[in-house]
Amino acid sequence: DRLPELVRALPKAELHMHIEGSLEPELIFALAQRNKVEIPYADVETLRHAYAFTNLQSFLDIYYAGASVLITEQDFYDMAWAYLKRAQADNVVHTEMFFDPQTHTARGVPVKTVIDGLHRACVDAGRQLGVSASLILCFLRHLSEEDAFATLEEALPHRDKFIGVGLDSSEVGHPPEKFARVFARCRELGLHLVAHAGEEGPPAYVWSALDVLKVERVDHGVQSSKDPALMQRLAEERIPLTVCPLSNLKLCVFPDLAAHNIKSLLDAGLVATINSDDPAYFGGYMNENWVQTFAATGLDARHAWQLAANSFEASFIEPPQKQAYM
C-alpha cells in the first residue's frame, strides 16, 4: 500500500495550527528552566500523562498553563522555529500560524515581544527552509470584545507582520456575535478574517461566523454536517473548512477516527482541508493527521490530491503564486 507514501510526499499548506499548541513538553521544561518559571508538573513524563482530555475546555486549561513559560522574544522564536522545521519535514510548503496574544499580555508580556519573535521565525523559514509562513492573530472568545479591541490596538503598530485575525478558545456560550464590532473593524483594516465555529458549537455558530463576522473560512466547522442548508451554502460559496481530525479525536468530538465526517464533507464538494491544530497536545503533526485519517476513514489517492489542492485554494497566498500551487 503506497498511499501513505503519496500522502506524506505531497506538498501541502497548513492553515489551522496554534503555535502555542506546538510547544512540546521538552521545550516547556527547557523554557521553564531558562526563565525560572515554576510549572506544576515534576517532569516531562508527568506532564505528557496529563494530556488526557474529555472536551475542549479540559485541553485549554493545560494549554494555557503550558504557554506560561514563554517570556522573551527568543522564546517565541524558538517555539515557532521548532514547528517550522517539523512542518518542513512533513512537506508543508506554506503555513498560516495562529497565535493568542492575550494568553501572553495577561502575564505582562508585550504584544511586540510575541509578534517580533514569531515573525522573525517566519522570515527565517522562508529563507532557510523554503517554507512560506504567515501569522494570524486570534482573539480569545472567553474574554470580552473590549479586551479584543485593546489587543488589536496594541498589535496595530505591527500590522505588517500578520495577515489576518481569528477567533478561538471556549466556543459554547461565546457565539460569533459577541465579536461583531471588532471583526467589522478588522475588515475595514483589510485583514483576512477566520473564526473557529462548529467544533463543539452548533451549526448556528457557523452561520453567524459567515453572516455576522463575514469570515473567509471556518476553522473546524465539522458540526456543519448536521445542517443540510449550511452544507449547501459552504459548497456553493466554496467556503473552506480547516478540519483537524486528531484534535477532534482527542477532544472527543468524534468517538473514534473511523467515525470522523471528513470523507462525507469532501464527497459533498466542500473545500475541506486537514490540519494539526495543536500538534504537541494531540499526538501528531501534519502527516500524522493525514496518514491516520486516510487509514481510518478510507480516503483514497483522489482525496489526497483534492485535499492538497484545497489547502492551497483555501490559503491566503496571493495570486499568481496561489494558482501555481494548485
Binding site as annotated, residues: 16, 18, 196, 277-278
Q: Return the residue nearest ligand ADE (CB atom).
A: 168
- Residue span 231-270 as binding mask against ligand ADE, x where in contact by CB under 6 A, dash where not: ----------------x-----------------------
Rule CB under 6 A: say whether 90 interacts with ligand ADE. Answer: no
CB of 282 vs ligand ADE, minimal distance in Å? 9
Closer residue to ligand ADE (CB): 224 or 247: 247
CB of 72 vs ligand ADE, minimal distance in Å? 22
Closer residue to ligand ADE (CB): 95 or 306: 95
Contact 263, 299 (CB under 8 A): yes
CA distance 75 to 190: 30
Site of interaction with Zn ion (CB under 5 A):
277
Is residue 199 annotated as part of the catalytic site, yes or no? yes
Chain centre distance of CA 256: 21
Q: Hey, is 134 helix, strand or coil?
A: strand
CA distance 292 to 46: 26
CA distance 167 to 179: 9
Q: What's the sign of the alpha-carbon dihedral 276, 12, 111, 211?
A: negative
Map the footprint of ligand ADE across residues 51-70, applying CB under 6 A: 56, 63
Closer residue to Zn ion (CB): 200 or 277: 277
The b-or-e profile of 172-183 (16+ CB within 10 A means b, else e) is eebbbebbeebb
CB of 220 vs ligand ADE, minimal distance in Å? 7
CB of 122 vs ligand ADE, minimal distance in Å? 19
Q: Hey, is 292 helix, strand or coil?
A: helix
Amino acid 244 reads C
CA distance 282 to 247: 6
Query: Which partner, Zn ion, ligand ADE, none, binds residue 90 by CB below 5 to 8 Å per kind?
Result: none
Closer residue to Zn ion (CB): 73 or 277: 277
The three cell numbers locating residue 172:
459554547
CA distance 27 to 46: 14
Catalytic one among 199, 216, 237, 318? Answer: 199
Amino acid 2 reads R
The three cell numbers locating residue 77:
522564536
- H or E stretch including 165? strand 164-168
Q: Hey, is 197 helix, strand or coil?
A: strand
Hunting for cell 478558545 — which residue is that? 169
Among 12, 18, 161, 260, binds ligand ADE (CB under 6 A): 18
The residue among 77, 125, 134, 70 whose CA lies nearest residue 102 is: 70
Closer residue to ligand ADE (CB): 129 or 206: 206
- Residue span 97-136 as binding mask against ligand ADE, x where in contact by CB under 6 A, dash where not: ----------------------------------------
CB of 139 vs ligand ADE, minimal distance in Å? 11
Q: Return the residue nearest Zn ion (CB atom).
A: 277
Among 24, 78, 90, 199, binds ligand ADE (CB under 6 A): 199
Rule CB under 6 A: say whether 14 interacts with ligand ADE. Answer: no
Residues that bind ligand ADE (CB under 6 A): 18, 21, 56, 63, 168-169, 196, 199, 247, 277-278
Query: Catalytic residue numbers?
Result: 199
